[in-house]
Structure 1
Amino acid sequence: MKRSQALAVGVALLLSGSAVVANAADGPAAPASGQHTAKRLSADAAWCEQQGGSAQKQVPYYTKTGTQIVQLGGEREMCVFTGKDGTRITIGADSLAADKPTLAALAYIHKPADPGGHPGNPSIGYCQSINGTAMYGPKATDGGGWAKKGETNPSNVVSACMFGDGSVIDAWGLKYHSGDVIRGADLTKKFRADIP
């Protein structure tokens, strides 16, 4: 075999080996026709569902005018609890399933008093009063939150209170809970971590 032929065979073998490795890294092969695959959940999403929530991938949105929303970059697993009365509370699945306490969990459990007097959205004002943020812009009319990818209705975007440790929880759920009103579900015993 000539040197150029050997080099071509070596390159072909290398490339075909790379293709196998690349395909193996893509995950398991698709199931044969008629077979079903189980829904793959992350550990955080699995914890969410064990607690009675519904895990969903959500993306952040910016509400420009209150009627127009713009999808932002990134995504996050959220855990949504829906109560028998139709109310909901959303929390980051990683905030619910964290092994150690998060600021979102501490805010929910300890229910800091609301000083009141917030102009605009009271849930965002409450969030800011306990050192979180739910703002997406510098003006009081700027807003945003989280919803499923492809959402077009601003009323389906949930304002979320995000804290310095990255934990996130539904701003309205947090605000209502500070006044002893449960929306969706009582999260008190649903956190994986022991909350001091």
Structure 2
Amino acid sequence: MKRSHAIVASVTLLLSAGGAAAGAADSPTAAQSAGHRSAAASWCAKEGGKAQVQVPYYTKTGTQIVQLGGEREMCTFTAKDGTKIMIGADTLAARKPTLAALAYIHKPADPGGHPGNPSIGYCQSLNGTAMYGPKATDGGGWAPKGETSPSKAVAACMFGDGSVIDAWGLKYHSADVIRGADLTKKFRADIP
């Protein structure tokens, strides 16, 4: 339990210092859509990931998928065994620590007892959110533009500084299970 308190203290310190996202790499722009690679996408590729502009989707009761506004470059790492982990490219390439990086590196214990999806429960226990839509039965995630299958949307845990990471990848890593790649040494920032 002391480790969780240390994470909360670190998060509070980062937020009071002006927000961890202040050091984030470039976010997606129209120029990137035209084929220009951002600094964050370049960092992603350098670390062995694949960057792709994705959009958030809302899945109403798992049957209907609705594209929401906005877009973001996501960096996906795929292992030989087929497992994947997705992280915001700007989160991975940030020059200063982010809340998602702190959660990944420090692996706070899961207090358990969450109803429904354990990855979303874990995310919420870290003061992140992975919820889309007005009802608890609604879901969502990030996927390439034009996706029509709700199963293709990857649930991601988003933190107050705007950093984002694959909710299942974060949950599994808290139990020392690596999905896709171990991101520990892939973050640009030095993580305290």
Give the TM-score taking structure 1 as reference length.
Answer: 0.80
Fraction of identical pairs, as percent: 84
**Among residues 60, 71, 75, which one is paired with 1:79 in the alignment?**
75
CA distance in 2, matches of 1:64, 1:189: 37
CA distance in 1, matches of 2:159, 2:68: 19
Q: Which has the larger radius of gyration?
A: 1
* Counterpart position of 2:111: 115
* Counterpart position of 2:49: 53
* Counterpart position of 1:155: 151
Name structure 1 gaps, 5 residues minimum: 1-25, 28-38
Q: 2:160 matched to 1:193? A: no
* Counterpart position of 1:10: none
CA distance in 1, matches of 2:134, 2:146: 25
Does the 8 Å CA contact 1:118/1:125 hold for their aligned counterparts? Answer: yes
RMSD: 1.3
Superposed structure 1 runs of 4+ greater than 4 Å apart: none
Residue by residue, what CA displacement relative to the aligned partner does 1:94-127 show, whole Å, maximum 9, x if unpaired?
Answer: 0000000000000000000001111011100000
Question: What is the one-letter code of the residue matched to 1:154?
Answer: P
Report the secondary structure of 2:81's partner residue: coil
Report the secondary structure of 1:49's partner residue: helix
* Counterpart position of 2:90: 94
CA distance in 2, matches of 1:107, 1:137: 24
Give the TM-score taking structure 2 as reference length.
Answer: 0.81
CA distance in 1, matches of 2:56, 2:169: 18
CA distance in 1, matches of 2:134, 2:169: 23
Does the 8 Å CA contact 1:92/1:169 hold for their aligned counterparts? Answer: yes
Name structure 2 gaps, 5 residues minimum: 1-29
Does the 8 Å CA contact 1:120/1:140 hold for their aligned counterparts? Answer: no
**Among residues 34, 37, 43, which one is paired with 1:41 in the alignment?**
37
